Structure 1
Amino acid sequence: MKMNIGINDEHLRSVATELNILLADEVLLYIQTRNYHWNVEGSNFNEMHLFFEKQFTELDDIMDGVAERIRMIGHYTEARLSDYLKLTHLVEQPYSNDQMLQLRNLLESQEAVVRNLRRLIILFSDEYKDAGSSDFVTQLLGRHEKMAWMIRAYFD
């Protein structure tokens, strides 16, 4: 059944496109975090293993929310790895067991997502007149800022 939620079809399509790009970023960040969880080494292995697990668990919830938001506005999610690699703003990082490099890479990725979310908040509300999606990404912004803060705490 055709949606009638007060947002024109073109705007909903544009929001869905942006959300699919965001989903690709979330998936790549999730995989990057999982990679470091699996490959971390060092005297504080257990601490870092659990830290990365907490981060990727949060990202898993975020990915599901983004995909559901896309479906809620009447569109389909891009859900193939090849699609994610084409859509993402993020860059896959080389393998590393260096904890500080892992953390630096994750922080850079988190901050890239934060910058994009800030852009989407305004784009969704002002250009596409979709306050719901703007509010949705605003909530994601806070979650990503907290994850970035937790990573940043390792750098003094």
Structure 2
Amino acid sequence: MAALERVLLLVDRLAEQGLLLTHINVGGGLGIRYRDETPPLPSEYAEVLLRTLGNRTCKLLLEPGRVIVGNAGILLTRVEYLKEGGDRHFAIVDAAMNDLLRPALYGAWQEIVPVMKESDLLSQSYDVVGPVCETGDFLGKERALRRGDGGG
């Protein structure tokens, strides 16, 4: 809210000069859960915005895109084979960075969940990678998967 408070100082200074703003765009503001975060509920965010706005009459505009659609999709993929290496193991899947660019582009964490019934086998750490011949073609690094979860 510090940014909004600074903008409101400017709004007040402009009003003193006779320039009345009719609206303020606060952008997205609401985060979504990627891993362990706990973003505020939309109602909590709205409450803080309105309290910060006080009795000013300008309208607040919001761009809540990610909070609405950010967790609305899934990528379903299949493990084609497992490649065992020295201290790294790879689960090669039939999806790639062209299907989900965020992990390859800037290391975004994406949850990886097996859809098959869990096996009794012990889990092992795998880098989940695609078949594209690029070093950045990964969907997740060092993920605990059971050998029975994949095709290998």
- TM-score bracket for the superposition, by shorter chain length: under 0.3
The structure with the largest alpha-carbon Rg is 2
TM-score (norm 1): 0.26
The structure carrying a bigger helix percent of its residues is 1
TM-score (norm 2): 0.26
The structure carrying a bigger strand percent of its residues is 2
